[in-house]
Structure 1
């Protein structure tokens, strides 16, 4: 069975199972299953359900984080132009542009870190799910990745992380322009009058 590189199960993994409040560590999945006892399959299925639910919640949280950053960065741009146009804040407009540009770029950078963090967390969760599926009658997620890999020639599949990592970069562009503009204007204001 073939997995994408980031989802390949590692060889010689140490499997641990609980047996009478002891943790048994072994390199053999079968030995771990045998040491657990008769409720192994039932408990594994319950843990699998919970873990898949946690994976779904992680994905939902990832979407919420993306919506949060998109809204926040768009709102900052709107507030910048509204406050400059109506002179709401008693601060120099160029300094306001500079501070806002730096804040926007910083938030885009933090957002990219969040995306990478969720990507790593999702990869790890899928590895655990694939390990659990070895003991279940049908490995749904492993089969899904296998089918995707087989049909990769016929369809263009873009992983969510590949697409979502460009959104912060796109939203950083107006902030970069604001930064460049404000630095040029501040330079002209303070250094060309000499």
Structure 2
């Protein structure tokens, strides 16, 4: 059904008109796609949690390296300390970029789920985000935490490098 501008009556989310399906098939299809998409979002979160674990493990390796140098268990020149520092900051920069990418993709997935909820009787994702989380003063957006961790680690590396060089 095209209107006068040549654009059909579907919204950006729909690929077919409701009239292309029987009423039962239409509603069943929406529910199944919604459940699948919510599951995909959950899997995306789980993969990202594994990514965070990976970067935290790497951080412990760099922290251990600095502590060994500071305790003078290994003698390393200024060049070695600076290379360790730059490597740690580089890893933190990659971690931050991946976190930003994850957050952007997760936001898009949540927005898509909210659009899908307009076809359902209840809107749990919309309600949770817009009514529950945004109304509370004690909620800290995960973006703040995800973006702060690599920055804090970089500052710690700079401090440890200064102690290793001057201490």
- TM-score tier, shorter chain, comes to 0.7 to 0.9
Matched, 1:147 2:145: no
Asked if 1 retains the 8 angstrom alpha-carbon contact of 2:92 and 2:154, the reply is yes
The unaligned stretches of length 5 or more in structure 2 are 1-9
The CA deviation at 1:98 is 1.1
- Output the CA distance in 1 between the equivalents of 2:13 and 2:135: 32
Asked if 2 retains the 8 angstrom alpha-carbon contact of 1:102 and 1:179, the reply is no
1:103-142 matches, cutoff 5 A: 103-142=87-126
**Equivalent residue number for residue 15 of structure 1:** 13
- Output the CA distance in 2 between the equivalents of 1:144 and 1:179: 44
The CA deviation at 1:55 is 0.9
Asked if 1 retains the 8 angstrom alpha-carbon contact of 2:66 and 2:161, the reply is no
**Equivalent residue number for residue 38 of structure 2:** 52
The CA deviation at 1:15 is 3.2
Cα RMSD of the aligned pairs, angstroms, is 2.6
What secondary structure is seen at the aligned counterpart in 2 of 1:86? coil
- Higher share of residues assigned strand: 1
- Output the CA distance in 2 between the equivalents of 1:146 and 1:174: 36
**Equivalent residue number for residue 4 of structure 1:** none
Render the CA deviation track for 1:118-155: whole Å, top value 9, x for unaligned. 11011110111011111112111111123226733xx3
Higher relative contact order (CA 8 A, sep 6+): 2
Scaled by the length of structure 2, the TM-score of the pair is 0.79
Render the CA deviation track for 1:56-82: whole Å, top value 9, x for unaligned. 111222222222212211212203433
The unaligned stretches of length 5 or more in structure 1 are 1-11, 18-23, 25-31, 186-194
Scaled by the length of structure 1, the TM-score of the pair is 0.69
1:33-72 matches, cutoff 5 A: 33-38=18-23, 39-72=25-58
Question: Which residue of 128, 135, 157 maps to 1:175?
Answer: 157
